[in-house]
Amino acid sequence: MFIIPLTEASCQEGKDISFSCEVSDDKVPARWFKDGVKIEPSDKYVMKKDGRKHSLTIKDAQLDDRAEYTIKLKDDKESTAPLFVEGKEIA
| Helix or strand holding residue 23 (H, E) | strand 17-23
pLDDT at residue 76, rounded to an integer = 80
Report pTM.
0.93
pLDDT at residue 23, rounded to an integer = 95
How far is 29 from 62, CA to CA, in rounded Å?
28
Q: Which neighbouring-strand residues pair with 19?
A: 56
**CB 85: neighbour CB atoms within 10 A?**
20
Least Cα distance to 8 among 20, 23, 26 occurs for: 20
Least Cα distance to 17 among 50, 71, 61 occurs for: 61
Per-residue pLDDT of the chain (91 residues; tens, 9 = 90+): 899 999 999 999 999 999 999 999 999 889 999 999 999 999 999 999 999 999 999 999 999 999 999 999 987 899 999 999 998 776 6
